Amino acid sequence: MAVLSTDRLIFSLSDNLEIEACTYKYSPESRLKHMGKHKPGINICLRSSDNQWSVVLKIIKHYQEEGQGSEVVQGVLLGLVVEDRLEITNCFPFPQHTEDDVDFDEVQYQMEMMRSLRHVNIDHLHVGWYQSTYYGSFVSRALLDSQFSYQHAIEESVVLIYDPIKTAQGSLCLKAYRLTPKLMEICKEKDFSPEGLKKACIGYEHMFEEVPIVIKNSHLINVLLLDLQEKSTVADKHELLNLSSSNHLEKSLQLLMDRMDDMSQDIGKYNTYCRNLSKQQQQKQQYLQRRQQENAQRQSRGEPPLPEEDISKMFKPPQAPARMDTLLIAGQINNYCQNIKEFTSQNLGKLFMAEALQGHNS
Amino acid sequence: MSRFFATGSDSESEESSSADEITPKATGTTFNKNKEAFTPNLILCCPLRFRFEELTNIIKTIRNAMKIRDMSKCLEEFEQLYRAFLKSKTIVDKEGVPQFYIRLLADLEDYLNQLWEDKEGKKKMNKNNAKALSTLRQKIRKYNKDFETEIASYKENPEQSAEEEEKDDIGSASSKSDDDDDEGITAKSLMKKKPQEEEKKAPEASKFLKGAADEESESDDDEDSEDWGSDSVDSGGESEDNEGAAASLAVVFLKKAQDGDKQHEPKKDGRRKRHKKIEQVEEEVDEDGEAEEGGWEKVKGGVPLVKEKPKMFAKGTEINSAVVIKKLTEILQARGKKGTDRAAQIELLHALSGISNENNLGQGILVKIKFNIIASLYDYNTNLAAFMKPEMWKKCLECIDELLDILFENNNIFIGENIAEDSENLAISDQPFRVRGCILTLVERMDEEFTKIMQNTDPHSQEYVDNLKDEGRVCGIIDRLLQYLESKGSTEEVCRIYLRRIMHTYYKFDYKAHRRSLGLQGETKSEQDQEESEGEDSAIIMDRLCKFIYAKDRTDRIRTCAILCHIYHHALHSRWYQARDLMLMSHLQDNIQHADPPVQILYNRTMVQLGICAFRQGMIKDAHNALLDIQSSGRAKELLGQGLLMRNMQERNAEQEKIEKRRQVPFHMHINLELLECVYLVSAMLLEIPYMAAHEFDARRRMISKQFHHQLRVGERQPLLGPPESMREHVVAASKAMKMGDWRTCHSFIINEKMNSKVWDLFPETQCVREMLVRKIQEESLRTYLFTYSSVYDSISMETLSEMFELELPTVHSIISKMIINEELMASLDQPTQTVVMHRTEPTSLQNMALQLAEKLGGLVENNERVFDLKQGVYGGYFNRDQKGGYQQKQNYQRDQKGGYQQKQNYQRGGYRNQNQSSY
């Protein structure tokens, strides 16, 4: 297994030698600021997830080899919990498999992989999974479900989202997410009705919590990286300064618009539901009033009151649309917006810089 | 000798019983029949029988008289009998003394003797009676001596009776008879008393008397039956020859010679036999009758007419018009009846026409017969849906031709539907002939049958071509009829025949006129001659005929058809403006949906032809509009009546299918569907591609042609794109090239060998159309290019453009000017440098996207507000202030965004903002 052998290679390289990740292309200092920041109200003391460059490189490699366009690659993260940090020391990908080979058993494959890794004395504890993303579109039902099952089984598991497009633009984009305890509860109860969500008081902002990442490397890897930096061409280096923005923005807008359409559709559905509900409430009210009046009349005439009927049977509330999808869409929209904002602010900076440069030249 | 022997010979009894057949009530009406039998000629033909009849009659009266003891009457009758017997002496000699005569003599003698002995009775008798009794007694005694042997033998047989005794008795009776004269007792009472006395005196005698009485009654019966028998023989004799009668008479005699006892059985047997015979005979008669009746019936049915054909009229009958007419009506009566052999009828009518021709019966009858021949030719096929056999139809064609010949030769024949049968004048030649019948209808029917034949012939066979050759003859006939009706017919009829003429003209392209208009002369002399002889252009004919119809017609349908045909003809000959104006003036587009299907089909054909005409003239938009309706439905084939679409049976049952099949247009009139589709797609391409380029980012862009888009999509869906094969693929490939502004490729896709052979060569002016197309492609490609790439340019030199698209500079100039005027292109022309300066006001794709997003956001917010309103409305204080505030903040934010957007708009330059502000 090619992947395995390289893993071993990298592993041997990164063997316990810890050095701080130095500036590489885009300053990770900003990220380092996040380190040590306590999230209030979270029970699990996950201060940070310690990432290793070997893991990052492997994920990138995996995407470069298998992922294309909007296709998504996934894999398993391995590591261990150290004090209040989650250290991710290794990973392996899920193989891409088509519908044809039904024999393939993912779980067995994972177990097999982990066993093999243990044999070569690598951390083999399952601590989460990773996924690539296309223009930041990852907030979906599938992710929610699988992350929920992970988190349910292994409390400290995280999901790493790798955005290859942004990375290609010159800034490594890797984010770790966990479901908030609130969402966990809701998922446990499987109550996605409007009332349930209202009671849980959850909004799209409170669905995922981002866990800060610190990337640490062995010295050997740092050496390798520096060497690679030396070798890279000028064009590669200045990818960061690329001024063209419309393409990326257009794509993002397109995706945003799609989500918007979904959103308005959902709202429309919810709207009709609300209207139906209120109409029925009115009817119910009317019915009850009539019944009361009648009973009052009967009482005055000395007759026994009408028997109580099961009102909930007579007025079956309309099927409420599941609100979780709407929530997810909202989360996704938020995500897109963040992305776009980030992108535009960076670009704006670049544009000003370019303008200044031009002014300086002339 | 029994009757069995006599009846043994079949022929006789058959005949007699067959005679019975005719008068089956003979038994009941014996007497009348007898009277009838005494007709003089019968006496002449059978004296013997008459004599015997006479005798038996007399005997009867004698017996009657005996019963009432009327002696004088008895005497009288006896003398008569005696004379009659003498008269028939010759026969009696020949035949021997008849039995009944003998019996009477014997009986009478006995009776007289009896009376004679009855003294008291004698006393009671009146004088006359007694006297008569004695004389009779003496006479009979004397007379009986001649027949002694016979009487003796007779008496021996039935009863023993002593002759002597009897004689004595008679003698005494006669002696006493005078004494009893005065007694006024009725004979009847005497009769009653007498047997009593006799019983006392002589039991034997009483026995005898009884026997006699029995005998009497029997003989009465016998006589009845004899009468009946003889009667039957009589009536048989009426029809049969004398020999048979004699034989049967003999039978009767023989029968009568039999004894009383024996007579019963044979009679019964005879009757039984007779019944059987009757049955038999009846059967035979039936058979005969069937043969005969069959013959008779089939006269009606028509088969024997064939047999009779050679002698349609009896030999020697003087054939005059009356007879022929009678025969004609006779034949015609069979028309439409079941079992009529229609083929035979046609032949018969032909024969009749031949006869009338031979005998010079005049044209009137001939015309009448011809009419009927044609009618029965049409009748040949009972099913309206089925088509006539071409041979039959050709016969019909000939007939009509001949009829027209006659009509043209003879000016004095009036024909018309409204001439009543009885007011017809077929024979009298001094007056003008009047014949009922409508030649126009016949010709129309003939034409329809022609259409049907064409519909039912395989269009790709030689047969079709052969059949199509007859179209010339049809046209010829219609032309001739047209001439005829122009001089004689009513305007209505003229309109109808004009329409027929139009229907045969409108779809044909007039190559001669076309060539003439191009200024080409016929290559050879003969062709020139032909051209000259051809007469006027079809356009002129159409014009004349149609205008007549417009002016004179009173039925809407004919006018509608004429207009449509006229338009079609104009369009076919590329007279676009005339065609279009006529179409617009007629306002047919508004009310065509109320017309019947054939007219609608004609309308569709006309519209299609109009569209194709517009295309040829380079009016792409008009062409597209005209063809849109037909093509967009995807049922062009059906709408043009050029074939049925495959549909499941639920939508259409067999009946409907038949009807629809009948509506189909014959193949030679078809409009090429591929040409139609190609014209439509190409015109759609020329319109749609620049439009698409111009409105690339317009969210609410509507497509001009759905079908074209469909084709494009089909093209896109192809996983592997090879070089185009079909016409559609060519157009799609061309469209793709045009999208890039690559007119050369587009041109090569639209106009090439394949497309030429498939489509463009079908036009009469192929070259012109191709030139027009190239030019259109260049122009539209230029427009597309400018739309697509204007954002890339700051300015373009018009010269470069004209070089790129191989268009003249003025053309480029005009196209760009037009685009600028229409605000399609945000640019200005820089005259001195001959360049187009772009203004760059079109929003970029990102801006477009942002606009769309803003729009969607607006919708989203609106939706959200609605939800919120609902919540607020129902649960007034449900939300706390904070949330409300939050919402309001959101709104504010929204407003800010809007402001931002407006600012952005302001940033843009004038033209675009003005254009778009209206939508916000």
The β-bridge partners of B835 are: B797, B830
DSSP B439-450: HHHHHHHHHHHH
What would the pLDDT profile of B409-452 be if each residue is shown by its tens digit? Answer: 777 777 776 666 666 666 665 666 777 777 788 888 888 888 88
Distance CA B326, CA B721 (A): 80
Percent residues over pLDDT 90 in chain B: 5
Using the Cβ of A254 and the Cβ atoms of chain B, whether some distance falls under 8 Å is answered with yes
The β-bridge partners of A137 are: A134
* Dihedral sign (CA B803, B805, B807, B812): negative
User: Which residues of B are less than 8 Å from A268 in CB distance?
Assistant: 863
The full 3-state SS of B449-465, as one line of letters, equals HHHHHHHCCCCCCHHHH
Using the Cβ of A43 and the Cβ atoms of chain B, whether some distance falls under 8 Å is answered with no
CB spacing of B863 vs A268 below 8 angstroms: yes
The β-bridge partners of A76 are: A92, A129
Predicted-assembly ipTM surpassing the 0.85 threshold:
no
What the block records as the tokens of B308 is 């009779």
Average pLDDT on B908-914 reads: 38
Using the Cβ of B871 and the Cβ atoms of chain A, whether some distance falls under 8 Å is answered with yes
Chain A nearest C-alpha distance from B698 (Å): 15
Could you give the residue ranges of the DSSP H alpha helices within B302-320? 303-308
CB spacing of B867 vs A267 below 8 angstroms: yes
Could you give the residue ranges of the DSSP H alpha helices within B410-537? 439-455, 462-469, 471-488, 491-503, 511-517, 525-534
What the block records as the tokens of B697 is 């980012």
Using the Cβ of A44 and the Cβ atoms of chain B, whether some distance falls under 8 Å is answered with no
What the block records as the tokens of A129 is 């999974």
Strands A158-162 and A125-132: parallel
Distance CA B325, CA B313 (A): 12
CB spacing of A267 vs B863 below 8 angstroms: yes
Distance CA A60, CA A72 (A): 12
Burial of B508 (0-12, 13-18, 19+ CB in 10 A): middle
What would the pLDDT profile of B704-745 be if each residue is shown by its tens digit? Answer: 888 888 888 888 887 777 888 888 888 898 998 998 888 889
Give the mutation candidate from A205, A247, A254, A260 for the B interface (greatest B CB count, under 10 A). Answer: A260
What is the pLDDT, as a whole number, of residue B898? 41
Distance CA B221, CA B68 (A): 19
User: Which residues of A are less than 8 Å from B852 in CB distance?
Assistant: 257
What would the pLDDT profile of B753-801 be if each residue is shown by its tens digit? Answer: 888 888 888 888 888 888 999 999 999 999 999 888 887 888 889 888 8
Give the mutation candidate from B697, B844, B849, B894 for the A interface (greatest A CB count, under 10 A). Answer: B849
Q: How confident is the model at residue A12 (pLDDT cuts 50, 70, 90)?
A: very low
Where in B690-824 does DSSP place strands (E)? 795-797
B514 secondary structure, DSSP code: H
CB of B627 within 8 A of CB of B707? no
Count of CB pairs separated by less than 8 Å, A with B: 45
Nearest by CB to residue B849, choosing from A253, A261, A278, is A253
Using the Cβ of A250 and the Cβ atoms of chain B, whether some distance falls under 8 Å is answered with yes
Q: How far is CA B194 from the centre of its chain?
A: 88
Distance CA A45, CA B783 (A): 67
A224-263 burial, b if ≥16 CB within 10 A, otherwise e? bbeeeeeeeeeeeeeeeeeeebeebbbebbebbbebbebb
Sheet of strand B795-797, all strands in order from the earlier edge strand to the far edge: B795-797, B835-838, B827-830
Q: Which of residues 808-867 of B touch A (CB under 8 A)?
A: 844-846, 849-850, 852-853, 856-857, 859-860, 863-864, 866-867
CB of B16 within 8 A of CB of B236? yes
Average pLDDT on A278-282 reads: 86
User: Which residues of B are less than 8 Å from A281 in CB distance?
Assistant: 874
The predicted model scores a pTM of 0.54
What would the pLDDT profile of B801-831 be if each residue is shown by its tens digit? Answer: 898 888 899 999 999 999 999 888 888 888 8
Average pLDDT, chain B: 70
Chain A nearest C-alpha distance from B668 (Å): 55
Distance CA B357, CA B529 (A): 39
CB spacing of A257 vs B853 below 8 angstroms: yes
Nearest by CB to residue A267, choosing from B850, B852, B860, is B860
Whether B89 has a pLDDT exceeding 80, the answer reads no
User: Which residues of A are less than 8 Å from B849 in CB distance?
Assistant: 250, 253-254, 257
What would the pLDDT profile of B614-642 be if each residue is shown by its tens digit? Answer: 998 888 999 998 888 888 887 888 888 88
Whether B33 has a pLDDT exceeding 80, the answer reads no
* Dihedral sign (CA B281, B286, B291, B297): positive
What would the pLDDT profile of B679-698 be if each residue is shown by its tens digit? Answer: 999 999 999 888 888 887 66
CB spacing of B860 vs A249 below 8 angstroms: no
Average pLDDT on B129-143 reads: 77
User: Which residues of B are less than 8 Å from A267 in CB distance?
Assistant: 860, 863-864, 867
User: Which residues of B are less than 8 Å from A274 in CB distance?
Assistant: 867, 870-871
CB spacing of B867 vs A270 below 8 angstroms: yes
DSSP B11-57: HHHHHHHHHHHH-TTTTTTHHHHHHHH--HHHHHH-HHHHHHHHHHH
A-chain residue closest to B858, CA distance: A264
What the block records as the tokens of B831 is 């005259």
Q: Could you tell me which of B604, B551, B560, B558 has the C-alpha nearest to residue B582?
A: B560
What would the pLDDT profile of B495-545 be if each residue is shown by its tens digit? Answer: 888 888 888 888 888 777 777 776 655 444 445 555 455 556 788 888 888
What is the pLDDT, as a whole number, of residue B536? 66
What is the pLDDT, as a whole number, of residue B45? 44
- How many C-beta neighbours within 10 Å does residue B112 have? 29
Helix (H) / strand (E) element for B321: namely helix B321-333
Helix (H) / strand (E) element for B910: namely helix B910-917
Average pLDDT, chain A: 74
CB spacing of B845 vs A250 below 8 angstroms: yes
Per 3-state DSSP, chain B is made up of helix, strand and coil in percentages (nearest 5) of 75, 0, 25
| Residue B518 Cα distances to B49, B512, B581, angstroms | 110, 10, 24
What is the pLDDT, as a whole number, of residue B427? 61
Using the Cβ of A203 and the Cβ atoms of chain B, whether some distance falls under 8 Å is answered with no
User: Which residues of A are less than 8 Å from B859 in CB distance?
Assistant: 264
B520 secondary structure, DSSP code: P
Helix (H) / strand (E) element for B828: namely strand B827-830
Computed on alpha carbons and rounded to an integer, the radius of gyration of chain B in Å comes to 58
CB of B407 within 8 A of CB of B340? no
A176-202 burial, b if ≥16 CB within 10 A, otherwise e? bbbbbeebbebbeeebbebebbeeeeb
Using the Cβ of A274 and the Cβ atoms of chain B, whether some distance falls under 8 Å is answered with yes
CB spacing of A253 vs B856 below 8 angstroms: no
Using the Cβ of A260 and the Cβ atoms of chain B, whether some distance falls under 8 Å is answered with yes
Give the mutation candidate from A201, A243, A267, A269 for the B interface (greatest B CB count, under 10 A). Answer: A267
Helix (H) / strand (E) element for B415: namely strand B413-416
User: Which residues of A are less than 8 Å from B845 in CB distance?
Assistant: 246, 250
Nearest by CB to residue B860, choosing from A264, A270, A274, is A264
What is the pLDDT, as a whole number, of residue B14? 42
The β-bridge partners of A20 are: A216
Distance CA B209, CA B187 (A): 16
